[in-house]
């Protein structure tokens, strides 16, 4: 049985507690949805004001050079590279996760001219699978074949005719963490190129793309990286593949010399070839500032606290007799999951809305999942205690049955 004094002791010994003060957090709210949209860093808010009022408002077009707007994709890419175990020159910030995935799938298939099968898992994030469908529609079923399997069947589903293995490191529903090193090694032994989606792991778990010899990776900027709604994404291409890099969206920013305005496209020979159009300066500037919260953070401390927060939540739920109807879908061992927990309940949507109405912001995923994300920097251990207390009261008093909690909004 965990007592309150134990939780307070965890709080006092937390080496990341100081980072909470770098966020602008709403009063009387416990935010357990950083895996969908990260909290607002104070530095990001200040940068947004500066970019709009000074850089754009006063310096106007001069800011492309004066404030280095043009270099933001590379500058941000290098900040993210430190968080994902990538050496310089392999990571760039641009577009959305889905667009970047489409580019890298196209690159990988072109490199595997004798193969056409793309292997992924049935429970991958739907948008990733939609990109597969879009590529098949574009190139035809003779050029692109899609094979989906269960997560536990990934290794057995690989064979010498598979061109690309596309996986998400942390399952967006269950939080299950895949073994990047083992699966990448197994794929390479069969001549398969691997693309990893890091949307639910970048900024919260240690990642070693170079160490695992990963080929390609993508990820988003608005979840654990706290870049704001719709923040730009990022893409990684291992340097050994740059000579083969020829992505299909040949926009002017991916040109070797975009300001020469040559009528013929000459692709850049490095990671900047993944750029397409003009960088979205305001959103990129916000993400650039948001990443500063990681400047003095040990990634292993992030992982340890994420595990500590989620384990505290899981244990407190198990201790409450009123929460026994919640079925844990996530792996019970913290080392086998990312920084989230998912509970199955037939009324998960109503429970989630009741939680939000009572100051605990959680997340719902269809059809019946209550999902909770544990962002290590803004969250405290005492917040976890508070959230389980609120959840217990909602279930004990059946407040989720109130009719307003059954009404579904456009965004769930």
Give the active site residues.
125, 197, 222-223, 371
Give the whole-angstrom CA distance, residue 8 versus residue 13. Answer: 9
Q: Which long-range contacts (CB under 8 A, 24 or more apart) does 295-304 make?
A: 297/16, 297/19, 297/377, 299/83, 299/205, 299/206, 300/206, 301/15, 301/16, 301/376, 302/16, 302/203, 302/204, 302/205, 302/206, 302/376, 302/377, 303/204, 303/205, 303/206
Residue 46 tokens read as 């200040």
Residues in the chain: 412
Q: What is the DSSP letter of 172?
A: T
Q: How many Cβ atoms sit within 10 Å of the Cβ of residue 347? A: 18
The Cα diameter of the chain in Å comes to 71
Helix (H) / strand (E) containing 167: strand 162-168
- On the 0-12 / 13-18 / 19+ scale of CB atoms within 10 A, 256 is middle
φ, ψ of residue 169 to 5 degrees: the values are: -65, -40
Residue 178 and residue 163: Cα distance in Å, rounded? 20
Q: Where are the alpha helices (DSSP H) in 40-96?
A: 42-50, 63-66, 72-84
CA 368, chain centre distance (Å): 22
Please enumerate in sequence order all residues whose Cβ is within 8 A of that of 36, keeping only pairs 6 or more positions apart, or say none: 223, 363, 373
Q: Given CA atoms 342, 346, 350, 354 in this order, what sign does their dihedral have?
A: negative
What contacts 76, CB < 8 A, 6 or more positions away?
Answer: 93, 221, 232, 234, 284, 287, 288, 291
Strands 162-168 vs 193-197: parallel, antiparallel or unpaired: parallel
| 132, 148 contact by CB (below 8 A) | no
């Amino acid at each position: 049985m965990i007592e309150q004094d134990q939780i307070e002791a965890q709080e006092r010994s937390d080496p990341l507690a100081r980072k909470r003060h770098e966020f602008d957090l709403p009063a009387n709210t416990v935010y357990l949805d950083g895996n969908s949209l990260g909290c607002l860093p104070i530095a990001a808010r200040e940068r947004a004001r500066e970019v709009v009022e000074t850089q754009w408002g006063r310096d106007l077009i001069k800011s492309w050079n004066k404030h280095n707007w043009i270099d933001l994709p590379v500058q941000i890419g290098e900040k993210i590279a430190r968080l994902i175990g990538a050496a310089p020159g392999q990571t760039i910030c641009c577009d959305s996760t889905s667009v970047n995935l489409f580019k890298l799938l196209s690159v990988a298939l072109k490199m595997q001219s004798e193969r056409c099968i793309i292997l992924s898992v049935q429970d991958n994030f739907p948008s990733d699978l939609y990109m597969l469908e879009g590529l098949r529609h574009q190139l035809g079923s003779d050029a692109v074949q899609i094979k989906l399997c269960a997560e536990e069947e990934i290794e057995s589903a690989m064979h010498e005719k598979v061109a690309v293995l596309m996986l998400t490191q942390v399952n967006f529903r269950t939080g299950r963490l895949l073994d990047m090193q083992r699966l990448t090694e197994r794929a390479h032994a069969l001549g398969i190129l691997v693309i990893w989606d890091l949307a639910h792991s970048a900024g919260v778990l240690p990642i070693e793309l170079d160490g695992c010899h990963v080929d390609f990776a993508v990820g988003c900027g608005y979840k654990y990286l706290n870049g704001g709604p719709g923040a730009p994404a990022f893409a990684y291409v291992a340097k050994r593949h740059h000579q083969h890099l020829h992505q299909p969206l040949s926009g002017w920013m991916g040109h070797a010399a975009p300001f020469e305005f040559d009528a013929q496209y000459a692709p850049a020979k490095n990671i900047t070839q993944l750029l397409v159009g003009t960088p979205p300066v305001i959103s990129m500037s916000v993400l650039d500032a948001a990443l500063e919260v990681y400047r003095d953070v040990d990634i292993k401390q992030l992982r340890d606290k994420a595990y500590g927060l989620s384990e505290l939540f899981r244990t407190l739920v198990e201790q409450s007799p009123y929460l026994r109807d919640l079925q844990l879908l996530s792996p019970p061992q913290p080392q086998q999951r990312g920084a989230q927990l998912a509970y199955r309940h037939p009324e998960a949507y109503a429970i989630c809305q009741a939680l939000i109405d009572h100051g605990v912001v959680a997340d719902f995923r269809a059809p019946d999942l209550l999902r909770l994300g544990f962002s290590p920097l803004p969250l405290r251990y005492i917040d976890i205690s508070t959230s389980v207390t609120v959840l217990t009261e909602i279930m004990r008093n059946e407040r989720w049955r109130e009719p307003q909690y059954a009404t579904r909004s456009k965004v769930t």
